[in-house]
Amino acid sequence: MPAVSTVEDICRSLVALDRIDHEVWAIDGELRDEPQAITADADTLAAHKAEHARLETTLKAARSEAGAFERELANIETRRTRAQNRIANLVTAEQIAATEREIANLGEQADEAELSALEGMESVEKITWSRDTEVTAIATGEVALAVRREAWNGRKAEIETRRSVLETEREPLFGDLRGDVARRYKVGWNMPFYKPPSGLTGADGIMCTTCRTTLSPKWVQECRRFDTLHACDSCKRILCFDPDAPPPVQAEVEAEVHADG
Ligand SMILES: [Zn+2]
């Protein structure tokens, strides 16, 4: 037989039950969300590693290309020096003119190759910077992930223990509730629109604190006096006051007086 009898006792049990259920709900949220957040962090880290590997490959190609432009430039410069040295030994005006054209031509080629070599070096610098950014991100990410995982291992054990304590405390509270009260409490708790979930609501004057619907003043009075239990028509939560709560502040008293009239 249920041990709970008076409305005041029922309210006391409901308040205790709702507190426990709220804490269990918060723990379950943490047990669900934190592993997901850790997985997301691990995914981000893996993405940085993949980007780092891609940049290393790109950097290798860019270095090789820049090196090729530098060798080409050196080669052109060698040819230009040789042509310049040759001029002194030339006799005919045609030969001299042809060599001068060759030197001018090699000069243009050298300018082009130099530009390409500079661009190649700039590209190498940019990729190196990006690569180094990834190196930093990986190092930071690995430390942060390790710290988060370790913290979670401790926290998880702690809240799982707390959860089983709460379950043990909850069992007699819920088990001793009158069937209709337990049913109404569950209906209120399972209403999906109001977060965090709760089986109970309060009144701000005659307004439901959960859904802001105007309640029957008579109901509010009856609930405050622990004469009977009512549930809000709109959010379905049981209008339940904590019998052990400190006395209401002046504003609430005034609202109550107003509701009486
Ligand atoms: Zn409501």
Q: How far apart are CA 32 and CA 239, in angstroms?
A: 30
Break the chain down into helix, strand, coil percent, rounded to 5: 75, 5, 20
Model confidence pLDDT, tens digit, residues 59-72 = 999 999 999 999 99
- 168's tokens: 């043990």
**H or E element that contains 147:** helix 93-175
Contact 123, 66 (CB under 8 A): yes
Task: Mean pLDDT check: name the lowest of 3-12, 93-102, 235-244.
Answer: 3-12
**What is the CA(173)–ligand 1 centre distance, in A?**
24
**What is the CA(134)–ligand 1 centre distance, in A?**
52
The pLDDT value recorded for residue 1 is: 45
**What is the CA(207)–ligand 1 centre distance, in A?**
8
Amino acid, single-letter form, for residue 56: E
**H or E element that contains 208:** strand 207-208
Residue whose entry in the numeric block shows the structure tokens 């049913």: 183
The pLDDT of 167-176, averaged and rounded, is: 95
Q: How far apart are CA 196 and CA 16, in angstroms?
A: 16
Pairing of strands 203-204, 238-239: unpaired
Model confidence pLDDT, tens digit, residues 207-233 = 999 999 999 999 999 999 999 999 999
Instruction: Tell me which CATH code domain 19-175 carries.
Output: 1.10.287.1490
Instruction: Please provide the average confidence, as pLDDT, over all residues in the chain.
Output: 93
**What is the CA(96)–ligand 1 centre distance, in A?**
103
List the chain domain ranges.
19-175, 179-260
Query: What is the pTM for the complete model shown?
Result: 0.77
